A = this chain, B = another copy of it.
Amino acid sequence: LWTRGSDLLWHQGKISPGSEAPFNLADRGLLLADGLFETVLVIQGQPVLLSEHLDRFGRGCSRLSIDFDRTMAERAILDLAAAKAGDAIVRATITRGTGARGLQPPLDAHPVLFATRADWTKALAFTSPRLSVSSIRRNATSPLSRLKSLSYMDNVLALIEAQGKGADDALMLSTTGSVACSSAANVFILEGRRLATPPPEEGVLDGIMRGFILAAAPSMGLDVSEEPFGTDRLMGADAIFLTNSVRLMMPVAAVDGIELPLGSATVARLAAAIAAVAGLEPSTRITASMP
């Protein structure tokens, strides 16, 4: 059996190398994408914003009526965080488990929880991607568009489409027509002292770093709001940046080939706050581009 993937697997309370395990191939996570996940950054052994990740994991499970064992999920993440030296990305995945054939979820589901670990390097964070607007839109009518569910292929296809156009990532609009997110990150625009990010209703995940920015910005003298905006307003902003838990903050260098202003002092201060909460030194990449 050919294997590749994570370097360490947490499964049923035990850690093993690789990611192979006995698995029920009738699991609804595999057959129907009936499950959720969290991707947690681990810096020097410390999971970043762990309780926020566990809170969101629980909220998602509640929405899908999947029994969530927070203690066990926390243990999986902490065990993998401590299993090896070096910064890491720990992904915890929960599925509803097996059920009878068909779409109907079983009433007596036994959820399956596992987690994997991969190395993380600073090169992943604080990059400045060039985006291309995707033809694939986030489905604002779908509850999944607001959950970190296993249904990720729209975003994968949007990423492939963007790369085919020479961009680094996709800028996804919502089916409402508003700006939604990139293939794996939330989007913010800065307009003077105003910071805005689309609300979950637009088909947007409530990202953990997004939540951190929403909470931290007012103390930095910024007005911050969750509100819909279109590409016109986006392109007129002083700065655009993306946030997620692995790549932290990414000032956007271009959209559809149109260069955007980088080097905002406000963006650099926000980046410093994110670096601090992650336990990292401030990004020299971002501070170097400051005016």
This chain's copy number in the assembly: 2
A35 → chain B closest CB, angstroms: 8
A245 at interface, CB cutoff 8 A: no
Name the contact of A136 in the complex, choosing from B105, B106, B136, B142 (C-beta under 8 A): B142
Q: Which residues of B contact A1 (CB under 8 A)?
A: 12, 22, 24
Query: B32 touching A29 by the CB < 8 A rule?
Result: no
A99 CB → nearest B CB, Å: 7
1/0 per residue A118-145: CB within 8 Å of B? Answer: 1000000000000000011101011110
* A30-B30, A33-B33, A139-B175 known; A98 vs B5 contact (CB < 8 Å): yes
Interface members, chain A 121-172 (any B CB < 8 Å): 135-137, 139, 141-144, 149-157, 159-160
CB-defined contacts of A98 to chain B, threshold 8 Å: 2-5, 19
Bound complex: CA A16 to CA B150 (Å): 27
Most chain B CB within a 10 A radius of its CB, from A30, A136, A184: A30
Q: A89 an interface residue at 8 Å Cβ cutoff?
A: yes
Interface residues on A, range: 35 or more
B-facing residues in A73-124 (Cβ within 8 Å): 89, 91, 93, 95, 97-106, 110, 114, 116, 118
Give A7 Cβ to nearest chain B Cβ, in Å: 10
Query: Hey, what's the 0/1 contact readout for A14-39 against B, CB within 8 Å counting as 1?
Result: 00001111111111011111100100
Which of B9, B25, B142, B157 makes the CB contact (< 8 A) with A20? B25
Report the bound CA distance from A183 to B31 in whole Å: 15
Q: Is A6 an interface residue (CB 8 A)?
A: yes
